[in-house]
Each structure stands twice: as structure tokens, then as C-alpha cells.
Structure 1
Amino acid sequence: MTARFIVLYETPADPAAFDHHYRDIHLPLARRLPGLRRYTIGRDMVTIRGGEPYYLVAELEWDTMEELRAAFASPEGRATATDSAHLQDLAPVRSMIYKVDESVPS
């Protein structure tokens, strides 16, 4: 089983300030989360149906939901969450956690 944390950032009022903070402050904090197996960032989204595309999408991955929760309960997780509040001042954000279902119906 794989657990993922996905973060969807809307277009910031000041993209340069957002990018600077995300790259130089937030990303180094998040990469220190315990048990983090993978961290991917998506840019240049194009909507297929409805709405505006997100500015940036980040996906973080752990082996289990318990490891994901433990990571955010750690000192590194609390520091990352505190910094996330600053990012929310720069761009509207949505986030969620979920289990990945690797099975594909026939």
C-alpha cells in the first residue's frame, strides 16, 4: 500500500515571491520529512474540463498511511506545516491525503 499527500496551489498573486519561498524555504523543509519516499512537483497544467488549472501540484509519497501521519507529527512535519501557513498567504491551496489503489478493474 502506498500513501500520498497531494497539495494543489492556485496561481499566486506574486508568482516570483511564491516560487522563491517554495524553492528556497518550503521544499528543503518538506524533503526532510521522515520516511518520505518520493516528492514530485507538477507545473504547466492544462485543464481538460472546467476551471482554471492549478499553478503547482506537489505529491509526496510514503509506504503507509501510518508513516505519512507519523512524518507530519514529527518536528520536521510540524516545521513544514508551520511554513505551509505562510505559503497559503501567497497562494490559495488545497491538500488531501489518500491511499493509492494499485488494482485496476477488469
Structure 2
Amino acid sequence: MTARFLVLYEAPADPAAFDRHYREVHLPLAHRLPGLRRYTLGDRPADVRGSQPCYLVAELEWDTMEELRAAFASPEGRACAEDAVRLQDLAPVRSMVFDVAEP
């Protein structure tokens, strides 16, 4: 089973400041999360049904939900979560975790 952490960032008031902070500060922190298997970004996604699209989509992947939770309980995870508060000051954000299942 695979566990994912999905983050949806809405349009920031200052895209340049958001991009700079995300790429220079947040990404390096996130890449240090223990057990992280994969980190992908969907840059400026387009909504299929015409509603307000997100600005950025981040998808992080672990082997299990237990590993995901342990990663965010670690010192690296706490540092990443603290920085996520700064990102929320730059752009509204929604996040969720889920197990990936084959239909």
C-alpha cells in the first residue's frame, strides 16, 4: 500500500515571493523527510470543469501511512510543518493524506 500527502495551494498574492520561498526554503526541508519515496509538483494546474484552479499541487509519497505519520513526527517533519505555516501566509492551502488503492 502507498500513502500520499496531497497539498493544494491557491493563487498567492505575490507569486514571485511564494515561488522563491517554496523552491529555496520549503522544498529543501520537504526533501529531508524520512522515508519520502517520491515528491512531485503540478505547476499551475488547469481545472477541468471551469472552477478556480489551484496555483500549485504537491504530492508526496511514502510506502505506508505509518511511515508518512512518522516522517511528520520527526524533527525534519516538524521543521517542514513550521515552514508550511509561513507558506499559508503567502497562499491559501488545503492538504490531505490518503492511502492509494487500486480500483
Q: Which amino acid aligns with 2:23?
A: R
Name the count of aligned residue pairs.
103
Please say which structure displays the higher CA radius of gyration: 1
Aligned residue runs from structure 1 range 18-97, under 5 A = 18-97=18-97
SS in 1 for 2:97: strand
**TM-score, normalised to structure 2's length?**
0.98
Q: Percent identity?
A: 75
Per-residue CA shift, 1:58-89, capped at 9, x if unaligned?
00000000000000000000000000000000
Per-residue CA shift, 1:46-66, capped at 9, x if unaligned?
111142100000000000000
Structure 1 runs (4+) greater than 3 angstroms displaced: none
Distance in 2, matches of 1:10 and 1:72, equals 23
SS in 1 for 2:11: coil
Q: Which amino acid aligns with 1:56?
A: L
Deviates more, 1:42-51 or 1:23-32: 42-51
**TM-score, normalised to structure 1's length?**
0.95
> Structure 1 stretches of 5 or more lacking a match?
none
Question: What do you get for the CA RMSD once the two structures are aligned?
Answer: 0.7
> Structure 2 stretches of 5 or more lacking a match?
none
Distance in 2, matches of 1:6 and 1:44, equals 15
